[in-house]
């Protein structure tokens, strides 16, 4: 069994432990996940199964959507409720119009400084490990894009937001920055990942429904595909390049799904000047031939 399982990760468990539990329940040989969720967070966690683990990078880089709850009037070293918390006295009453106006400023392409309590590596060490030991270090800002940010609910103490964003966006940092801009501080108290593209309308399964889960084919994550005849299939399997000018209109493609002469997915390739080159193929294709 190869493919992608969309798992609904529960709260209070790491992504690593979650996928190991799924692996045990379904008796899977090899698994990997796309896009880590902190133990505090819940929601969609794509799990790559067996040969699917070869293609995780093509999901990790995709956009994601979240629903997040902010608690106003507090700050913490981790930017969420699980850190060392301090209360902040707001400089003024927070008005709804002020919140709406501020959210517009956070929409679009921008630079964001990742939190020190993150899994990013600094000189070979995880940032959160250094932070816990009180070791001083600096992280570099990264370019992110927030394509949508909507106010769902607002009270004197909480704000609920819906966010669609690019790879590498730290929602905890966004929450912290919003609190700083509002002048009252804010920490993340809840986080749910609604979806990971291209699975905006797909079902995520929890532990109780895993036995009935539908495995998504690997090839579904690629927008472009090509089907080869028997001779071309054999050439690709043996690492050769082939001319596909008569089959496809694209002169250059960074990634394209490849199907054999029996319309079965065998891997991905790239096209340069109409020449298709194998990029990442499934295992044991030599033994299977073109079947």
Question: How do residues 97-113 score in pLDDT, each as one tens digit?
Answer: 999 999 999 999 999 99
206-230 average pLDDT score: 95
Indicate the range of 22-36, 83-97, 117-131 predicted with least confidence: 83-97
Query: What's the pLDDT score for residue 25?
Result: 95
Residue 16 Ramachandran class (φ > 0 left, ψ -120 to 50 alpha, else beta): alpha
246-274 average pLDDT score: 94
Rounded alpha-carbon distances, angstroms, from residue 231 to 57, 59, 62: 30, 31, 34
Query: What are the sequence ranges of the domains in the chain?
Result: 3-62+198-219, 64-196, 222-288
Query: What's the pLDDT score for residue 254?
Result: 95
Model confidence over 59-103: pLDDT tens digits? 999 999 999 999 999 999 999 999 999 998 776 778 899 999 999
Active-site option among 12, 38, 80, 229: 38
β-pairing verdict for 158-165 and 64-72? antiparallel
125-146 average pLDDT score: 92
Q: How far apart are CA 135 and CA 128, in angstroms?
A: 10
Which pLDDT band, with edges at 50, 70 and 90, does 119 fall under?
confident
177 is catalytic: no
Fold of 222-288: 2.30.130
Higher pLDDT, 285 or 142: 142
Q: How far apart are CA 266 and CA 259, in angstroms?
A: 6
Query: What's the pLDDT score for residue 49?
Result: 96
CATH of domain 64-196: 3.30.2350.10
Q: Do domains 3-62+198-219 and 222-288 have the same CATH topology?
A: no
Please tell me the pTM assigned to this model: 0.91
246: pLDDT strictly greater than 60: yes
For the domain made up of 3-62+198-219, the CATH class stated in words is alpha beta
- As a whole-number percent, the residues of the chain with pLDDT over 90 amount to 85
Which pLDDT band, with edges at 50, 70 and 90, does 285 fall under?
confident
Model confidence over 8-26: pLDDT tens digits? 999 999 999 999 999 999 9
Contact 109, 145 (CB under 8 A): yes
| Residue 260 CA, distance from chain mean position | 30
Residue 110, classed as helix, strand or coil, is strand
Rounded alpha-carbon distances, angstroms, from residue 185 to 45, 72, 88: 29, 6, 6
156: pLDDT strictly greater than 80: yes
187: pLDDT strictly greater than 70: yes
185: pLDDT strictly greater than 80: yes
């Amino acid at each position: 069994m190869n493919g992608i399982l969309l798992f609904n990760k529960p709260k209070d468990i790491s992504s690593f432990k979650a996928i190991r539990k799924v692996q045990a329940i379904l008796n899977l040989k090899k698994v990997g996940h796309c896009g880590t969720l902190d133990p505090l967070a819940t929601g969609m966690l794509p799990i790559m199964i067996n040969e699917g683990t070869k293609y995780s990078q093509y999901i990790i880089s995709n956009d994601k959507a979240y629903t997040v709850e902010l608690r106003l009037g507090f700050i913490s070293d981790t930017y969420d409720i699980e850190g060392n918390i301090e209360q902040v006295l707001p400089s003024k009453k927070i008005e709804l119009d002020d919140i709406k106006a501020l959210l517009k400023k956070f929409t679009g392409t921008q630079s964001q400084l990742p939190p020190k309590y993150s899994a990013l590596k600094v000189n070979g060490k995880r940032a959160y490990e250094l932070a816990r030991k009180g070791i001083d270090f600096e992280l570099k800002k990264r370019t992110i894009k927030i394509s949508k940010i909507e106010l769902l609910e607002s009270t004197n103490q909480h704000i609920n937001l819906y966010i669609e964003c690019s790879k590498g966006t730290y929602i905890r940092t966004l929450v912290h920055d919003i609190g700083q801009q509002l002048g009252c501080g804010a920490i993340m108290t809840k986080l749910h990942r609604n979806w990971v593209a291209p699975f905006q309308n797909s079902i995520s399964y929890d532990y109780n429904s895993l036995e009935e889960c539908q495995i998504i084919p690997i090839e579904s994550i690629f927008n472009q595909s090509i089907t080869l005849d028997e001779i071309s299939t054999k050439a690709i399997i043996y690492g050769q390049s082939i001319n596909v000018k008569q089959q496809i209109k694209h002169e250059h493609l960074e990634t394209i799904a490849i199907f054999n002469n029996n319309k079965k997915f065998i891997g991905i390739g790239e096209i340069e000047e109409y020449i298709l080159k194998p990029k990442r193929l499934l295992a044991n294709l030599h033994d299977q031939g073109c079947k």
